[in-house]
Amino acid sequence: FRENHALTTCVALLLGMTQEVHSMFNFRGFRWARAMIHAIQEVNNRLDILPNITLGYHIYDTCFTTSKTVEGTLAYLTGQNETMPNFRCSAGAPLVAVIGAGGSTLTIASSRIVGLYYFPEVGYASSCSVLSDKYQFPSFLRTIPNDNHQSLAMAELVRHFGWVWIGTIAADDDYGKYGIKYFKQNVEKSGICIAFSETIPKIFSREKILAVVEAIKESTANIIVVYSSDIDLSPLMEEIANSNITGKTWIASEAWVTSALIAKPEYFSFLGGTIGFGVRRGDIPGLKDFLLDVHPDNAASDDLTIEFWQTAFNCTWPNSTVPYNTDFRINVTGRESGVHPVSDQLCTGKEKLEDIKNTYLDVSELRITYNVYKAVFTVAHALNNLDTCVEGNGPFPKNSCLMYYLKNVKFTTFDNELVKIDDNGDVYASYDIINWQLNETGEISFVKIGIYNDTKDGHEMKIYNNDSIFWNTPTLKSMPKS
Ligand code: TCR
Protein backbone atom coordinates (compact mmCIF):
# COMPACT_ATOMS: atom_id res chain seq x y z
CA PHE A 1 0.00 0.00 0.00
CA ARG A 2 1.02 3.52 -0.61
CA GLU A 3 1.31 5.50 2.55
CA ASN A 4 0.17 9.03 3.36
CA HIS A 5 -3.24 8.51 1.98
CA ALA A 6 -5.85 10.78 3.34
CA LEU A 7 -8.35 8.03 3.91
CA THR A 8 -8.43 4.26 4.05
CA THR A 9 -11.62 2.56 3.05
CA CYS A 10 -12.52 -1.03 3.35
CA VAL A 11 -14.06 -3.77 1.24
CA ALA A 12 -14.75 -7.34 2.31
CA LEU A 13 -14.34 -10.48 0.27
CA LEU A 14 -16.56 -13.43 1.06
CA LEU A 15 -15.48 -16.74 -0.40
CA GLY A 16 -15.26 -20.43 0.34
CA MET A 17 -11.76 -21.36 1.38
CA THR A 18 -12.21 -24.56 3.29
CA GLN A 19 -14.33 -27.49 2.28
CA GLU A 20 -14.19 -31.15 2.80
CA VAL A 21 -14.47 -32.87 -0.53
CA HIS A 22 -11.17 -34.12 -1.96
CA SER A 23 -8.75 -31.36 -1.18
CA MET A 24 -9.74 -29.62 2.00
CA PHE A 25 -8.14 -26.36 1.15
CA ASN A 26 -9.71 -24.63 -1.83
CA PHE A 27 -6.78 -23.67 -4.03
CA ARG A 28 -9.02 -22.11 -6.63
CA GLY A 29 -10.60 -19.93 -3.94
CA PHE A 30 -7.18 -18.92 -2.69
CA ARG A 31 -6.35 -17.80 -6.21
CA TRP A 32 -9.50 -15.64 -6.22
CA ALA A 33 -8.55 -14.11 -2.87
CA ARG A 34 -5.05 -13.33 -4.12
CA ALA A 35 -6.46 -11.88 -7.34
CA MET A 36 -8.58 -9.54 -5.26
CA ILE A 37 -5.54 -8.36 -3.34
CA HIS A 38 -3.64 -7.92 -6.59
CA ALA A 39 -6.48 -5.81 -8.02
CA ILE A 40 -6.66 -3.70 -4.85
CA GLN A 41 -2.94 -3.07 -4.97
CA GLU A 42 -3.26 -2.02 -8.60
CA VAL A 43 -6.00 0.46 -7.68
CA ASN A 44 -3.86 1.80 -4.86
CA ASN A 45 -0.84 2.20 -7.11
CA ARG A 46 -2.67 3.92 -9.91
CA LEU A 47 -2.82 7.66 -9.91
CA ASP A 48 -5.91 7.93 -12.07
CA ILE A 49 -8.27 6.00 -9.76
CA LEU A 50 -8.81 7.12 -6.17
CA PRO A 51 -5.58 9.14 -5.85
CA ASN A 52 -6.32 10.19 -2.29
CA ILE A 53 -7.86 7.02 -0.97
CA THR A 54 -6.37 3.69 -0.06
CA LEU A 55 -8.54 0.62 -0.38
CA GLY A 56 -8.12 -1.95 2.35
CA TYR A 57 -9.81 -5.29 2.78
CA HIS A 58 -11.04 -8.08 5.04
CA ILE A 59 -11.32 -11.67 3.86
CA TYR A 60 -13.94 -13.99 5.35
CA ASP A 61 -14.19 -17.72 4.79
CA THR A 62 -17.75 -18.85 4.08
CA CYS A 63 -16.74 -22.53 4.33
CA PHE A 64 -19.40 -23.01 1.66
CA THR A 65 -22.12 -22.73 4.28
CA THR A 66 -24.92 -20.25 4.80
CA SER A 67 -24.28 -19.94 8.52
CA LYS A 68 -20.62 -18.94 8.06
CA THR A 69 -21.61 -16.54 5.30
CA VAL A 70 -24.14 -14.80 7.51
CA GLU A 71 -21.66 -14.75 10.37
CA GLY A 72 -18.97 -13.19 8.16
CA THR A 73 -21.36 -10.58 6.78
CA LEU A 74 -22.45 -9.57 10.26
CA ALA A 75 -18.88 -9.56 11.55
CA TYR A 76 -17.88 -7.19 8.78
CA LEU A 77 -20.83 -4.84 9.24
CA THR A 78 -20.58 -4.68 13.00
CA GLY A 79 -16.81 -4.72 13.28
CA GLN A 80 -16.77 -7.74 15.57
CA ASN A 81 -14.03 -9.50 13.79
CA GLU A 82 -13.48 -12.75 15.63
CA THR A 83 -14.27 -14.96 12.68
CA MET A 84 -11.89 -13.23 10.33
CA PRO A 85 -9.12 -15.54 9.15
CA ASN A 86 -6.57 -12.90 8.37
CA PHE A 87 -6.19 -9.46 6.86
CA ARG A 88 -7.68 -6.44 8.55
CA CYS A 89 -8.27 -2.86 7.55
CA SER A 90 -7.07 -0.21 9.94
CA ALA A 91 -9.57 0.43 12.67
CA GLY A 92 -12.38 2.78 11.84
CA ALA A 93 -11.93 2.75 8.06
CA PRO A 94 -15.29 3.34 6.37
CA LEU A 95 -16.83 0.19 4.97
CA VAL A 96 -17.47 0.40 1.26
CA ALA A 97 -18.74 -2.87 -0.16
CA VAL A 98 -18.82 -6.64 0.08
CA ILE A 99 -17.39 -8.66 -2.78
CA GLY A 100 -18.91 -12.12 -3.01
CA ALA A 101 -20.02 -14.53 -1.84
CA GLY A 102 -19.14 -17.47 -4.10
CA GLY A 103 -22.22 -19.56 -4.72
CA SER A 104 -25.64 -17.95 -5.25
CA THR A 105 -27.26 -19.59 -2.23
CA LEU A 106 -24.67 -17.97 0.03
CA THR A 107 -24.91 -14.62 -1.73
CA ILE A 108 -28.67 -14.64 -1.37
CA ALA A 109 -28.25 -15.02 2.39
CA SER A 110 -25.59 -12.35 2.65
CA SER A 111 -27.23 -9.79 0.38
CA ARG A 112 -30.52 -10.03 2.25
CA ILE A 113 -28.62 -8.70 5.24
CA VAL A 114 -26.66 -5.95 3.50
CA GLY A 115 -29.76 -5.08 1.48
CA LEU A 116 -31.43 -3.92 4.70
CA TYR A 117 -28.89 -1.09 4.83
CA TYR A 118 -28.73 -0.59 1.08
CA PHE A 119 -25.08 -1.54 1.47
CA PRO A 120 -23.42 -2.67 -1.78
CA GLU A 121 -22.51 -6.27 -2.52
CA VAL A 122 -20.79 -7.14 -5.78
CA GLY A 123 -20.92 -10.78 -6.87
CA TYR A 124 -18.23 -12.35 -9.06
CA ALA A 125 -19.62 -15.90 -9.36
CA SER A 126 -23.22 -15.76 -8.18
CA SER A 127 -25.17 -16.07 -11.37
CA CYS A 128 -28.61 -17.19 -10.21
CA SER A 129 -31.43 -15.30 -11.90
CA VAL A 130 -33.29 -14.43 -8.68
CA LEU A 131 -30.46 -12.08 -7.68
CA SER A 132 -31.59 -9.72 -10.45
CA ASP A 133 -34.79 -9.06 -8.54
CA LYS A 134 -34.16 -5.64 -7.05
CA TYR A 135 -37.14 -5.83 -4.71
CA GLN A 136 -35.47 -8.69 -2.93
CA PHE A 137 -31.83 -7.70 -3.45
CA PRO A 138 -31.77 -3.91 -3.79
CA SER A 139 -28.05 -3.46 -3.23
CA PHE A 140 -26.69 -6.44 -5.18
CA LEU A 141 -24.83 -6.22 -8.45
CA ARG A 142 -22.45 -8.56 -10.23
CA THR A 143 -19.75 -9.06 -12.82
CA ILE A 144 -21.04 -12.47 -13.95
CA PRO A 145 -24.04 -12.66 -16.28
CA ASN A 146 -27.47 -13.74 -15.03
CA ASP A 147 -27.91 -17.48 -15.69
CA ASN A 148 -31.09 -17.02 -17.68
CA HIS A 149 -28.79 -16.29 -20.60
CA GLN A 150 -26.87 -19.49 -20.05
CA SER A 151 -30.04 -21.56 -19.79
CA LEU A 152 -31.22 -20.11 -23.10
CA ALA A 153 -27.81 -20.77 -24.60
CA MET A 154 -28.00 -24.42 -23.54
CA ALA A 155 -31.47 -24.71 -25.05
CA GLU A 156 -30.22 -23.16 -28.26
CA LEU A 157 -27.31 -25.61 -28.35
CA VAL A 158 -29.61 -28.58 -27.90
CA ARG A 159 -31.84 -27.35 -30.73
CA HIS A 160 -28.83 -26.63 -32.91
CA PHE A 161 -27.77 -30.27 -32.79
CA GLY A 162 -31.31 -31.54 -33.16
CA TRP A 163 -31.47 -33.42 -29.86
CA VAL A 164 -34.95 -34.02 -28.51
CA TRP A 165 -34.50 -36.44 -25.59
CA ILE A 166 -32.54 -34.87 -22.73
CA GLY A 167 -31.68 -35.79 -19.14
CA THR A 168 -31.05 -33.02 -16.61
CA ILE A 169 -29.11 -32.94 -13.35
CA ALA A 170 -29.14 -30.01 -10.92
CA ALA A 171 -27.20 -29.27 -7.76
CA ASP A 172 -29.50 -28.94 -4.78
CA ASP A 173 -29.12 -25.16 -4.54
CA ASP A 174 -30.42 -21.99 -6.17
CA TYR A 175 -27.84 -22.17 -8.94
CA GLY A 176 -28.75 -25.70 -9.98
CA LYS A 177 -32.48 -25.52 -9.50
CA TYR A 178 -33.18 -22.17 -11.18
CA GLY A 179 -30.71 -22.87 -13.98
CA ILE A 180 -32.35 -26.17 -14.91
CA LYS A 181 -35.85 -24.80 -14.42
CA TYR A 182 -35.33 -22.04 -16.98
CA PHE A 183 -33.62 -24.44 -19.40
CA LYS A 184 -36.55 -26.86 -19.19
CA GLN A 185 -39.17 -24.17 -19.65
CA ASN A 186 -37.41 -23.06 -22.78
CA VAL A 187 -36.79 -26.42 -24.45
CA GLU A 188 -40.23 -27.75 -23.66
CA LYS A 189 -41.66 -24.91 -25.72
CA SER A 190 -39.83 -26.35 -28.73
CA GLY A 191 -41.21 -29.82 -28.18
CA ILE A 192 -38.03 -31.26 -26.70
CA CYS A 193 -38.68 -33.88 -24.02
CA ILE A 194 -37.02 -34.32 -20.66
CA ALA A 195 -36.12 -37.97 -20.06
CA PHE A 196 -35.20 -37.52 -16.40
CA SER A 197 -34.54 -34.72 -13.90
CA GLU A 198 -32.22 -35.58 -11.04
CA THR A 199 -30.77 -33.61 -8.14
CA ILE A 200 -27.32 -34.05 -6.60
CA PRO A 201 -27.42 -33.88 -2.79
CA LYS A 202 -25.58 -31.09 -0.96
CA ILE A 203 -24.74 -33.27 1.97
CA PHE A 204 -22.83 -36.27 0.70
CA SER A 205 -24.99 -39.39 0.45
CA ARG A 206 -23.70 -42.33 -1.54
CA GLU A 207 -27.17 -43.76 -1.64
CA LYS A 208 -28.65 -40.68 -3.29
CA ILE A 209 -25.78 -40.47 -5.72
CA LEU A 210 -26.21 -44.10 -6.72
CA ALA A 211 -29.89 -43.40 -7.37
CA VAL A 212 -28.85 -40.69 -9.85
CA VAL A 213 -26.40 -43.09 -11.48
CA GLU A 214 -29.19 -45.64 -11.79
CA ALA A 215 -31.48 -43.09 -13.49
CA ILE A 216 -28.75 -42.29 -16.01
CA LYS A 217 -28.10 -45.97 -16.69
CA GLU A 218 -31.75 -46.79 -17.19
CA SER A 219 -32.43 -43.89 -19.52
CA THR A 220 -31.91 -43.94 -23.27
CA ALA A 221 -31.14 -40.21 -23.26
CA ASN A 222 -27.60 -39.64 -24.51
CA ILE A 223 -27.48 -35.94 -23.75
CA ILE A 224 -27.27 -34.84 -20.11
CA VAL A 225 -27.39 -31.21 -19.05
CA VAL A 226 -25.76 -30.54 -15.67
CA TYR A 227 -26.08 -27.32 -13.68
CA SER A 228 -23.82 -27.67 -10.65
CA SER A 229 -20.65 -26.43 -9.05
CA ASP A 230 -17.67 -28.72 -9.48
CA ILE A 231 -17.54 -29.43 -5.77
CA ASP A 232 -21.09 -30.79 -5.65
CA LEU A 233 -20.68 -32.65 -8.91
CA SER A 234 -17.45 -34.42 -8.16
CA PRO A 235 -18.85 -37.33 -6.09
CA LEU A 236 -21.34 -38.09 -8.88
CA MET A 237 -18.63 -38.14 -11.55
CA GLU A 238 -16.61 -40.48 -9.38
CA GLU A 239 -19.52 -42.94 -9.41
CA ILE A 240 -20.08 -42.46 -13.16
CA ALA A 241 -16.49 -43.58 -13.62
CA ASN A 242 -16.91 -46.48 -11.17
CA SER A 243 -19.99 -47.66 -13.01
CA ASN A 244 -18.26 -47.30 -16.37
CA ILE A 245 -21.03 -45.27 -17.99
CA THR A 246 -19.87 -44.22 -21.46
CA GLY A 247 -21.51 -42.95 -24.61
CA LYS A 248 -23.13 -39.93 -22.97
CA THR A 249 -22.55 -36.35 -24.05
CA TRP A 250 -22.50 -33.98 -21.11
CA ILE A 251 -23.55 -30.35 -21.35
CA ALA A 252 -21.71 -28.35 -18.71
CA SER A 253 -22.71 -25.19 -16.92
CA GLU A 254 -20.04 -22.56 -16.39
CA ALA A 255 -19.19 -23.66 -12.84
CA TRP A 256 -17.67 -27.00 -13.88
CA VAL A 257 -16.80 -26.52 -17.52
CA THR A 258 -13.10 -25.88 -16.90
CA SER A 259 -12.75 -27.36 -13.45
CA ALA A 260 -9.64 -29.41 -12.73
CA LEU A 261 -11.66 -31.34 -10.18
CA ILE A 262 -13.85 -32.85 -12.93
CA ALA A 263 -11.71 -32.58 -16.06
CA LYS A 264 -9.35 -35.35 -14.99
CA PRO A 265 -7.64 -37.38 -17.72
CA GLU A 266 -8.79 -40.62 -16.06
CA TYR A 267 -12.39 -39.52 -16.59
CA PHE A 268 -11.90 -38.81 -20.27
CA SER A 269 -13.51 -42.00 -21.54
CA PHE A 270 -16.70 -40.98 -19.69
CA LEU A 271 -16.62 -37.22 -20.00
CA GLY A 272 -14.60 -36.55 -23.16
CA GLY A 273 -16.55 -34.48 -25.65
CA THR A 274 -18.30 -32.50 -22.94
CA ILE A 275 -19.64 -29.21 -24.28
CA GLY A 276 -20.20 -26.25 -22.02
CA PHE A 277 -20.27 -22.54 -21.51
CA GLY A 278 -17.52 -20.39 -20.04
CA VAL A 279 -17.75 -16.72 -19.19
CA ARG A 280 -15.27 -14.40 -20.81
CA ARG A 281 -11.69 -14.94 -19.77
CA GLY A 282 -9.00 -12.34 -19.18
CA ASP A 283 -5.28 -12.79 -18.67
CA ILE A 284 -4.66 -10.44 -15.79
CA PRO A 285 -1.30 -8.69 -16.20
CA GLY A 286 1.19 -9.52 -13.47
CA LEU A 287 -1.07 -12.02 -11.74
CA LYS A 288 1.18 -15.07 -12.19
CA ASP A 289 4.13 -13.31 -10.53
CA PHE A 290 1.88 -12.07 -7.77
CA LEU A 291 0.59 -15.59 -7.15
CA LEU A 292 4.14 -16.93 -6.95
CA ASP A 293 5.07 -14.19 -4.54
CA VAL A 294 3.42 -15.78 -1.54
CA HIS A 295 5.31 -17.14 1.46
CA PRO A 296 4.44 -17.67 5.13
CA ASP A 297 7.59 -15.73 6.11
CA ASN A 298 5.99 -12.60 4.68
CA ALA A 299 2.68 -13.30 6.30
CA ALA A 300 3.42 -14.22 9.89
CA SER A 301 -0.10 -13.69 11.13
CA ASP A 302 -1.86 -14.76 7.99
CA ASP A 303 -3.57 -18.08 8.56
CA LEU A 304 -4.68 -18.52 4.98
CA THR A 305 -1.15 -18.35 3.61
CA ILE A 306 0.12 -20.79 6.21
CA GLU A 307 -2.73 -23.19 5.55
CA PHE A 308 -2.07 -22.86 1.84
CA TRP A 309 1.61 -23.63 2.26
CA GLN A 310 1.03 -26.59 4.55
CA THR A 311 -1.53 -28.12 2.22
CA ALA A 312 0.41 -27.47 -0.97
CA PHE A 313 3.61 -29.04 0.39
CA ASN A 314 2.11 -31.55 2.79
CA CYS A 315 4.06 -30.28 5.78
CA THR A 316 3.49 -28.44 9.05
CA TRP A 317 4.67 -24.87 9.43
CA PRO A 318 6.90 -24.73 12.55
CA ASN A 319 5.30 -23.20 15.63
CA SER A 320 2.07 -22.43 13.87
CA THR A 321 -1.31 -23.15 15.32
CA VAL A 322 -2.95 -23.28 11.93
CA PRO A 323 -4.41 -26.76 11.51
CA TYR A 324 -3.03 -28.73 8.64
CA ASN A 325 -5.51 -29.51 5.91
CA THR A 326 -8.31 -29.63 8.39
CA ASP A 327 -11.52 -27.93 9.10
CA PHE A 328 -12.89 -28.86 12.49
CA ARG A 329 -15.72 -26.38 12.38
CA ILE A 330 -18.18 -28.07 10.16
CA ASN A 331 -18.50 -31.31 8.36
CA VAL A 332 -20.17 -30.36 5.13
CA THR A 333 -20.23 -33.71 3.45
CA GLY A 334 -20.72 -36.01 6.40
CA ARG A 335 -17.82 -38.10 5.16
CA GLU A 336 -15.70 -39.70 7.77
CA SER A 337 -12.43 -38.92 6.08
CA GLY A 338 -13.04 -35.33 7.11
CA VAL A 339 -10.29 -34.83 9.62
CA HIS A 340 -6.74 -35.34 8.47
CA PRO A 341 -3.83 -35.73 10.87
CA VAL A 342 -1.20 -33.06 11.08
CA SER A 343 1.72 -33.93 8.84
CA ASP A 344 4.79 -34.81 10.89
CA GLN A 345 6.98 -33.42 8.17
CA LEU A 346 7.98 -29.85 9.09
CA CYS A 347 8.00 -27.23 6.35
CA THR A 348 11.45 -25.76 5.79
CA GLY A 349 10.28 -22.62 4.02
CA LYS A 350 12.54 -23.55 1.11
CA GLU A 351 9.77 -25.42 -0.70
CA LYS A 352 9.46 -24.14 -4.23
CA LEU A 353 6.07 -23.13 -5.59
CA GLU A 354 7.48 -23.27 -9.11
CA ASP A 355 8.00 -27.01 -8.72
CA ILE A 356 4.44 -28.01 -8.00
CA LYS A 357 1.45 -28.32 -10.24
CA ASN A 358 -1.42 -26.72 -8.42
CA THR A 359 -4.78 -25.24 -9.31
CA TYR A 360 -3.79 -22.11 -7.41
CA LEU A 361 -1.04 -21.37 -9.92
CA ASP A 362 -2.97 -22.35 -13.03
CA VAL A 363 -3.63 -19.11 -14.88
CA SER A 364 -4.70 -20.70 -18.15
CA GLU A 365 -8.45 -20.25 -17.64
CA LEU A 366 -8.98 -17.05 -15.69
CA ARG A 367 -12.70 -16.56 -15.90
CA ILE A 368 -14.10 -16.24 -12.37
CA THR A 369 -10.71 -14.84 -11.32
CA TYR A 370 -11.15 -12.15 -13.96
CA ASN A 371 -14.65 -11.48 -12.58
CA VAL A 372 -13.14 -10.94 -9.12
CA TYR A 373 -10.77 -8.44 -10.67
CA LYS A 374 -13.67 -6.67 -12.39
CA ALA A 375 -15.63 -6.60 -9.12
CA VAL A 376 -12.80 -4.74 -7.38
CA PHE A 377 -12.56 -2.26 -10.23
CA THR A 378 -16.33 -1.78 -10.24
CA VAL A 379 -16.12 -0.68 -6.62
CA ALA A 380 -13.01 1.42 -7.22
CA HIS A 381 -14.45 3.25 -10.23
CA ALA A 382 -17.74 3.92 -8.46
CA LEU A 383 -15.88 5.28 -5.44
CA ASN A 384 -13.76 7.34 -7.74
CA ASN A 385 -16.82 8.87 -9.41
CA LEU A 386 -18.22 9.62 -6.02
CA ASP A 387 -14.93 11.16 -5.02
CA THR A 388 -14.67 13.42 -8.04
CA CYS A 389 -18.32 14.38 -7.97
CA VAL A 390 -18.75 18.11 -7.53
CA GLU A 391 -21.13 19.02 -4.80
CA GLY A 392 -24.43 20.20 -6.12
CA ASN A 393 -23.75 18.67 -9.54
CA GLY A 394 -24.49 15.05 -8.84
CA PRO A 395 -27.89 13.55 -8.23
CA PHE A 396 -27.06 13.10 -4.56
CA PRO A 397 -25.29 15.16 -1.95
CA LYS A 398 -21.58 14.36 -1.99
CA ASN A 399 -20.45 11.04 -0.55
CA SER A 400 -23.92 9.92 0.29
CA CYS A 401 -24.80 7.36 -2.26
CA LEU A 402 -22.28 4.87 -3.48
CA MET A 403 -25.06 2.62 -4.78
CA TYR A 404 -26.01 5.23 -7.34
CA TYR A 405 -22.50 5.33 -8.73
CA LEU A 406 -22.17 1.58 -8.69
CA LYS A 407 -25.29 1.19 -10.76
CA ASN A 408 -24.01 3.68 -13.28
CA VAL A 409 -20.49 2.37 -13.45
CA LYS A 410 -18.83 2.07 -16.83
CA PHE A 411 -15.15 1.35 -17.44
CA THR A 412 -12.83 -0.61 -19.70
CA THR A 413 -10.42 -3.24 -18.45
CA PHE A 414 -6.83 -3.89 -19.59
CA ASP A 415 -8.42 -6.25 -22.11
CA ASN A 416 -10.49 -3.46 -23.60
CA GLU A 417 -13.62 -5.04 -22.29
CA LEU A 418 -16.32 -2.52 -21.50
CA VAL A 419 -17.87 -3.26 -18.10
CA LYS A 420 -21.26 -1.68 -17.67
CA ILE A 421 -23.74 -2.44 -14.92
CA ASP A 422 -27.43 -2.12 -15.77
CA ASP A 423 -30.40 -1.20 -13.58
CA ASN A 424 -30.75 -4.74 -12.32
CA GLY A 425 -27.11 -4.86 -11.38
CA ASP A 426 -26.37 -7.14 -14.32
CA VAL A 427 -23.71 -7.19 -17.01
CA TYR A 428 -23.78 -8.09 -20.68
CA ALA A 429 -23.81 -11.84 -21.34
CA SER A 430 -21.21 -13.43 -23.55
CA TYR A 431 -20.00 -17.03 -23.39
CA ASP A 432 -17.33 -19.16 -25.00
CA ILE A 433 -18.59 -22.57 -26.07
CA ILE A 434 -16.02 -25.09 -24.91
CA ASN A 435 -15.41 -28.72 -25.92
CA TRP A 436 -13.30 -31.21 -23.97
CA GLN A 437 -10.61 -32.85 -26.06
CA LEU A 438 -7.49 -34.82 -25.24
CA ASN A 439 -4.19 -33.16 -26.15
CA GLU A 440 -0.85 -34.77 -27.09
CA THR A 441 0.35 -34.82 -23.49
CA GLY A 442 -2.71 -36.79 -22.39
CA GLU A 443 -4.39 -33.93 -20.61
CA ILE A 444 -7.83 -32.51 -21.19
CA SER A 445 -7.80 -29.32 -23.19
CA PHE A 446 -10.67 -26.89 -23.34
CA VAL A 447 -11.15 -26.08 -27.00
CA LYS A 448 -13.24 -23.07 -27.90
CA ILE A 449 -15.65 -24.22 -30.61
CA GLY A 450 -17.99 -21.26 -30.71
CA ILE A 451 -19.57 -18.31 -28.95
CA TYR A 452 -22.95 -17.25 -27.63
CA ASN A 453 -23.73 -13.56 -27.21
CA ASP A 454 -26.67 -11.63 -25.96
CA THR A 455 -27.68 -9.03 -28.54
CA LYS A 456 -30.08 -6.13 -28.57
CA ASP A 457 -32.77 -8.09 -30.27
CA GLY A 458 -32.20 -11.59 -28.97
CA HIS A 459 -29.00 -13.54 -29.16
CA GLU A 460 -26.49 -15.02 -31.55
CA MET A 461 -24.82 -18.39 -31.37
CA LYS A 462 -21.95 -19.44 -33.60
CA ILE A 463 -20.39 -22.87 -33.80
CA TYR A 464 -17.23 -22.33 -35.81
CA ASN A 465 -16.81 -25.70 -37.43
CA ASN A 466 -18.65 -28.92 -36.70
CA ASP A 467 -15.57 -30.98 -37.63
CA SER A 468 -13.55 -29.41 -34.84
CA ILE A 469 -15.82 -30.93 -32.19
CA PHE A 470 -14.74 -34.08 -30.38
CA TRP A 471 -17.69 -36.42 -29.78
CA ASN A 472 -17.56 -39.22 -27.29
CA THR A 473 -19.38 -41.63 -29.62
CA PRO A 474 -18.01 -44.96 -30.89
CA THR A 475 -16.63 -43.39 -34.09
CA LEU A 476 -15.43 -40.29 -32.17
CA LYS A 477 -16.43 -38.15 -35.11
CA SER A 478 -20.15 -38.50 -35.58
CA MET A 479 -22.54 -36.47 -33.57
CA PRO A 480 -24.56 -38.33 -30.95
CA LYS A 481 -28.30 -38.74 -31.42
CA SER A 482 -30.78 -38.44 -28.62
N1 TCR B 1 -22.43 -19.57 -10.43
C2 TCR B 1 -22.54 -20.48 -9.29
C3 TCR B 1 -21.23 -20.62 -8.53
C4 TCR B 1 -20.12 -20.72 -9.47
C5 TCR B 1 -18.81 -21.23 -9.27
C6 TCR B 1 -18.14 -21.07 -10.51
C7 TCR B 1 -18.15 -21.82 -8.18
C8 TCR B 1 -20.17 -20.30 -10.79
N9 TCR B 1 -18.98 -20.50 -11.41
C10 TCR B 1 -16.82 -21.50 -10.67
C11 TCR B 1 -16.83 -22.26 -8.35
C12 TCR B 1 -16.19 -22.08 -9.59
C13 TCR B 1 -21.41 -19.80 -11.40
C14 TCR B 1 -23.66 -19.98 -8.38
O15 TCR B 1 -23.92 -20.61 -7.36
O16 TCR B 1 -24.24 -18.98 -8.74
Q: What pLDDT is attached to residue 431?
A: 98
Query: Using CA of residue 285, residue 286, residue 291, residue 292, what is the dihedral sign?
Result: positive
Q: Is residue 34 scored above 50 in pLDDT?
A: yes
The answer, yes or no, to whether any atom of ligand 1 lies below 6 A from the CB of 257, is no
CA dist 388 to 239, 379, 391, 394, 409, Å? 57, 14, 9, 10, 14
- Average of per-residue pLDDT across 184-188: 97
DSSP-derived 3-state class of residue 58: strand
Name the residue among 184, 203, 157, 135 with its Cα closest to residue 466: 157
> 256 CA to middle of ligand 1, Å?
8
- Do the bridges between strand 140-142 and strand 223-227 make them parallel or antiparallel, or are there none, so unpaired? unpaired
Q: pLDDT for 108-155, tens place per residue? A: 999 999 999 889 999 999 999 999 999 999 999 999 999 999 999 999
- Average of per-residue pLDDT across 395-407: 74
Which atom of ligand 1 is found nearest the CA of 367?
10
The answer, yes or no, to whether any atom of ligand 1 lies below 6 A from the CB of 103, is yes
Q: What pLDDT is attached to residue 52?
A: 85
DSSP-derived 3-state class of residue 123: strand
Burial (CB < 10 A; 0-12, 13-18, 19+), residue 8, is middle
- ipTM > 0.90 for the complex: yes
Q: What pLDDT is attached to residue 476?
A: 67
- Do the bridges between strand 430-438 and strand 444-455 make them parallel or antiparallel, or are there none, so unpaired? antiparallel
Q: Which residue's C-alpha comes closest to atom 15 of ligand 1?
A: 103
> 230 CA to middle of ligand 1, Å?
8
Give the span between the Cα atoms of 119 and 262, in whole angstroms.
Answer: 36
Which atom of ligand 1 is found nearest the CA of 253?
13
- Average of per-residue pLDDT across 421-446: 95
CA dist 256 to 127, 275, 290, 318, Å? 13, 11, 25, 36
Q: pLDDT for 363-386, tens place per residue? A: 999 999 999 999 999 999 999 988
Q: What pLDDT is attached to residue 21?
A: 45
Burial (CB < 10 A; 0-12, 13-18, 19+), residue 237, is buried
Q: Residue 58 carries which side chain, given as an amino acid letter?
A: H
Q: What pLDDT is attached to residue 59?
A: 87
DSSP-derived 3-state class of residue 61: strand
Give the span between the Cα atoms of 305 and 266, in whole angstroms.
Answer: 31
Mean pLDDT estimate for the chain: 87
- Average of per-residue pLDDT across 160-165: 96
Q: What pLDDT is attached to residue 68?
A: 84
Which atom of ligand 1 is found nearest the CA of 174?
15
Q: Which residue's C-alpha comes closest to atom 12 of ligand 1?
A: 255
The answer, yes or no, to whether any atom of ligand 1 lies below 6 A from the CB of 147, is no
Q: Is residue 204 scored above 90 in pLDDT?
A: no
> 5 CA to middle of ligand 1, Å?
36
- Average of per-residue pLDDT across 377-397: 79
Which residue among 26, 127, 256 is best mutated to probe the pocket of ligand 1, counting the most ligand atoms within 8 A of its Cβ? Answer: 127
CA angle 123, 252, 450 (to 5 degrees): 95
**Percentage of residues in the chain with pLDDT exceeding 70?**
87
The answer, yes or no, to whether any atom of ligand 1 lies below 6 A from the CB of 222, is no
Identify the helix (H) or strand (E) that includes residue 60: strand 53-61
The answer, yes or no, to whether any atom of ligand 1 lies below 6 A from the CB of 255, is yes
Q: What pLDDT is attached to residue 4?
A: 35
What is the residue-wise DSSP string for 214-280? Answer: HHHHH----EEEEE--HHHHHHHHHHHHHTT--S-EEEE-TTTTT-TTT--GGGHHHHTT-EEEEEP
The answer, yes or no, to whether any atom of ligand 1 lies below 6 A from the CB of 101, is no
CB 58 within 8 A of CB 84: yes
